[in-house]
Structure 1
Amino acid sequence: MEPAPLVLLHAFPFDSRMWDGVRDLLKPITPDQRGADRSPDLVAVADDVLRLLDERGVERAVLGGCSMGGYVAMAVLRRDPSRVAGLVLADTRAGADTDEARANRLAMAARVEAEGLGWVPDTVVSGLLGPAPDEAVVGRVRELILDQDPAEVVWAQRAMAARPDSADVLAEVDVPALVLVGEHDALTPPALARELAGMLRQGEYVELPGVGHLTPLEAPDAFAAAVLDWRRRAGV
């Protein structure tokens, strides 16, 4: 039997190009998550993912996401878990935002609406990467952020701020699941990732050394190798 297709959902504030470093090894489907013409709810892009599977004739897929992409994967599970053959959750969390985190998201959305994206890289890049990032990676992260549509950045922040807690959804999922996290992830640290893996009936935990919140960008070869090894062992 052919393995299920792998769908990878990108982090915020990026697009599907964040997966370029893993394409050759993983051969993923990588949609762009776009919703600025709709109300701020991640269900909108979750439904887009399900439509994409329908268009491609894919009955079930291994669904992966990094950071916001993980939230979208959880929204897909909320909509139709029967379409998910396996999960890859990288540098993400199950919980809804705290009041403080929600307020910070909404403040950032308002500032981007007023001022554009020029200030964003200087504010967020250091918190996204590990302690000694490669300069080429730093440059690529900055480039990808500045290349986004400000309206999409605003929409994504507001949609993430409104997302529900997904612990109940994950507890019901009975498919192979891989939880990946960077050793130095300051936003969704290893302790939180281990907790996430523990929510899943078939959860495995992998920590990638030396990197932060953007494991597929910082360590694409290690990320791809971990996913390939897990898929081989899990049979998905």
Structure 2
Amino acid sequence: MSQSPLLDHLLELRRRLLIGVIVVLALFSVLAFFADDLYSWLAAPMLASLPQGSTLIATDVATPFFTPFKLALVVSIALAVPVLLWQLWAFIAPGLYQREKRLVVPLMVSSSLLFYAGIAFAYFVVLPLALNFLANAAPEGVTVATDIASYLDFVLAIFMAFGIAFETPVAIILLCWTGVTSVTSLRAKRPYVIVGAFAVGMVLTPPDVISQTLLAIPMWLLFELGLLIASLYQHKPPSAAPESD
């Protein structure tokens, strides 16, 4: 009998994971038919930055076949993020208080939207500028010929960096809400945060000032947004305290 609750939790976890896997596979089964089109869309910024008549290349025999399918799988996982987060929410919801439930649901929705916003910002703003800079930075006599698999890995790293960076407001709200830190403390550390944002930009983006700045500035602005929202949440505990008494 003592193991029954644990077994129930494990079975519930398996069910939630299975639902997530099924959703990802269902999306992949559809997107696989458009794998080449997806890669053409992804390669558009790179092709636009290359000299006239230049194209991407494949240095491995199987690369032209597997690379588009790899992209289709990654896109399937990205599109399934709201479902995956909902399954996570459904698993942990029974152990949360009502006040916590009211906070978690908006955070999950906003985290999904911010993640997609980060990817969109990277694709439409960062990639064209960064790729154009890198392509024109080649020494005289050097022809830029990028492998399609290497380009995919490069772009996915950029997408992941900006997707995670755009989660800054959610991270700040959670840190303040759980008591790990406070809005006042974070405001006092604002100069260090700005320097840290540029340091993160240097690590996560290509070695050019443009893409580093385009990551650091949104991180700083999202930090300020997170402080604003966290300050609104911090006003609630004092009013809730008399009710608990």
TM-score range, shorter chain: under 0.3
Instruction: Please identify the structure whose Cα radius of gyration is greater.
Output: 2
TM-score, normalization by structure 1:
0.26
Structure showing the higher helix proportion among its residues: 2
Structure showing the higher strand proportion among its residues: 1
Structure scoring higher RCO (CA < 8 A, sep ≥ 6) equals 1
TM-score, normalization by structure 2:
0.25
